[in-house]
């Protein structure tokens, strides 16, 4: 299932509206203010307000940070979670949610285990793109392995360049940003693990 986030027009506008509404509903349900959410994510109150009102799309980094702060998986912002007692342990490619940002970053949610706070994704970065404009932070841990191209990870005041086969892990509360500063596509397997 593909979802295009920031481009304006028809289905994309509706997706932005639905995501914003789900963020607002969840935030209010858990008694969190916009200021609380901004503090936990590093995303400005004005951006969060625009996101909730469906007036702006968000980068992958912002959506990961917001969903983590709200105690849900990013996929939950796009579709209703349905539980089927006869679920297969296999998640077929066509069943996985893919989010595409205007900045050329694709995130395919390969699997999630909500009860364990686990999300596994395949992230693709077009040349010159990044997960977010500014470093973001959220609760949990992140683990990544580069499988194609190379990526740059800004982590706090340090920068790391990773090549195919290189792996990284870090506490997600440290402000971070992931990008591709090269002229070829970069692809990585990324695991987000939050406390549950």
pLDDT tens, position by position, for the chain (196 residues)? 444 444 445 566 787 888 889 999 989 888 899 999 999 888 899 989 999 998 887 887 888 889 888 988 787 887 654 444 456 788 899 888 888 765 788 889 898 887 778 889 999 999 999 988 889 898 899 999 999 999 999 999 999 999 999 999 999 999 999 999 999 999 999 999 987 5
CATH superfamily of 2-77: lambda repressor-like DNA-binding domains (1.10.260.40)
Domain ranges in the chain are 2-77, 99-193
Contact 65, 41 (CB under 8 A): yes
Residue 130 is given by DSSP the state B
Contact 129, 122 (CB under 8 A): no
Q: Hey, what CATH topology would domain 99-193 get?
A: Jelly Rolls (2.60.120)
Strands 186-193 and 141-148: antiparallel
Is the model's pTM score more than 0.85? no
Name the CA dihedral angle for 100, 187, 139, 194, rounded to a multiple of 10 degrees.
Answer: 100
């Amino acid at each position: 299932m593909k979802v295009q986030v920031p481009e304006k027009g028809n289905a994309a506008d509706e997706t932005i509206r639905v995501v914003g509404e789900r963020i607002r509903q969840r935030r209010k349900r858990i008694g969190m203010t916009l200021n609380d959410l901004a503090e936990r994510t590093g995303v400005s109150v004005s951006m969060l307000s625009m996101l909730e009102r469906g007036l702006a799309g968000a980068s992958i980094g912002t959506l990961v940070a917001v969903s983590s702060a709200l105690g849900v998986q990013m996929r939950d912002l796009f579709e209703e979670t349905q539980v089927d007692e006869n679920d297969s342990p296999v998640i077929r490619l066509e069943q996985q949610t893919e989010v595409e940002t205007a900045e050329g970053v694709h995130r395919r949610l390969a699997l999630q285990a909500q009860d364990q706070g686990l999300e596994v994704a395949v992230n693709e970065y077009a040349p010159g793109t990044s997960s977010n404009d500014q470093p973001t932070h959220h609760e949990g841990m992140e683990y990544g392995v580069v499988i194609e191209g190379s990526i740059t990870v800004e982590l706090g005041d340090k920068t790391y360049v990773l090549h195919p086969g290189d792996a990284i892990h870090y506490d997600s509360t440290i402000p971070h940003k992931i990008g591709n500063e090269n002229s070829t596509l970069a692809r990585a397997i990324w695991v987000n693990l939050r406390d549950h």
